[in-house]
Structure 1
Amino acid sequence: MTNMQDDAFWDTPVQEPLAPRAGRRSRGNRAATKVERVETRGRARALQALYAADLRDLTQLRKIATHVFDDLAVDPEERQFASRLVATVADKCAELDADLAQVTNNWRLERLGAIERSVLRLAAAELDRNETPVKVVLQEAVHLAERYGTTRSARFVNGVLDAYARKLGRL
């Protein structure tokens, strides 16, 4: 004996997926057509160098960054921006780490993942340079943490950097 309800379900036509509304793009389309700014790409390159140095030897950050940028054939404008951030971290790493340690409640920097630690150092260096609006630095850092880490990484980075910017009196 067959169930008529089941047969009716399988015999109905398949509904086509809904099309996006006219004039609005879905997230996927916007991401595919969006061109990233030089600074955004430069931050990603600086993060790659910081991450590599964190895994190898942070005291060799400048040398490692040069190798990373050469290996990736980084665009000169991106390289210039990334190099300034890397230089700030190289020159002030101990100071930046000490300041970040004051706002990471119950977490020592050594216990953080390399991505989170690198993103925090990068953002702290950019805040130290005081050339970019604070909200932009925080937004870009959260984006990097989410892109190269996880959603939890992004939330953690956001909380730490918010506290850090407040400590600096910038928020």
Structure 2
Amino acid sequence: MDDEVKPVKRASQRRENRMCAVQFLYQWELNKPEQLHDALRIFLETKDHEREYYAFAEELIHGVIEHVESVDEHIKVHAANWTFDRIAKVDLSILRLAIYELLQRRDIPPIVSINEAIELGKIYSNPDSKRFINGILDQMKNKIDRPLRSAAD
């Protein structure tokens, strides 16, 4: 019998930031605060690291919220046979993040955004959400005007 304790694999800082962004976007969807900056500050105070650690998450959160109408339109177009209100809020948060990255963050390779969204679905949602998230993002990737595996210049 092997008594050796295996180290717990920690998520990368980028993954942790995306996880944080999904958590906040989920909370934001359920109860939109009057003061976004205050709500975000309070939310980040509950996290394991200093606020600076979550700078990427803050960029993502602000970007998603700033572009939420456009992002939601893309979700509605690609969510065949689903009314927007039927989409699980956690899946909606994951999709919003990924689609924002696909459309607005040319510094992130599209395939990274898609893979991260699928992983986030495994962490936060039910087993079937992976297919739903992947189906929508697969349609989105066909509309991307840049290489899928590298960041744009």
Report the CA distance shift for 1:47/1:62 in structure 2 as closer, same or farther (over 3 A).
Answer: farther
Change (3 A) 1:111 1:60: farther
Q: 1:94 to 1:63 in 2, by over 3 A?
A: farther
**CA-to-partner distance for each residue in 1:7-45, whole Å, 9 max, x for gaps?**
xxxxxxxxx9xx8xxxxxxxxx5xx54232111000000
Q: Structure 1 residues 87 and 155 mapped into 2: Cα distance closer, same or farther (>3 Å)? A: same
Q: Secondary structure at the match of 2:40?
A: helix
Give the residue type in structure 2 aligned to 1:55: L
Displacement of 1:162 in angstroms is 1.1
TM-score w.r.t. the length of structure 2 is 0.82
Contact 1:62 1:87 in 2 (8 A): no
Tell which structure's C-alpha radius of gyration is larger. 1
Aligned residue in 2 for 1:41? 16
Aligned-pair Cα RMSD in Å: 2.2
Question: Are residue 85 (structure 1) and residue 82 (structure 2) matched?
Answer: no
Aligned to 2:140: 164
Structure 1 alignment gaps of length 5 or more: 1-15, 20-28
1:108 deviation in Å?
2.6
**Does 1 or 2 have the higher relative contact order (CA < 8 Å, sep 6+)?**
2
Report the number of matched residues: 143
Aligned counterparts of 1:149 and 1:60: Cα–Cα separation in 2: 28
- Taking structure 1 as the reference length, the TM-score comes to 0.74
Aligned match of 1:138:
114
The sequence identity of aligned pairs, in percent, is 29
Specify the SS of the correspondent of 2:10. coil
Query: Is contact 2:121–2:129 with CA below 8 Å preserved after alignment?
Result: yes
Unaligned runs of 5+ in 2: 149-153
Using the TM superposition, name which of 74-83 and 36-45 deviates more.
Answer: 74-83
How far apart in 2 are the matches of 1:138 and 1:113?
18
| AA aligned opposite 2:132 | F
Give 1 or 2: higher helix fraction: 1
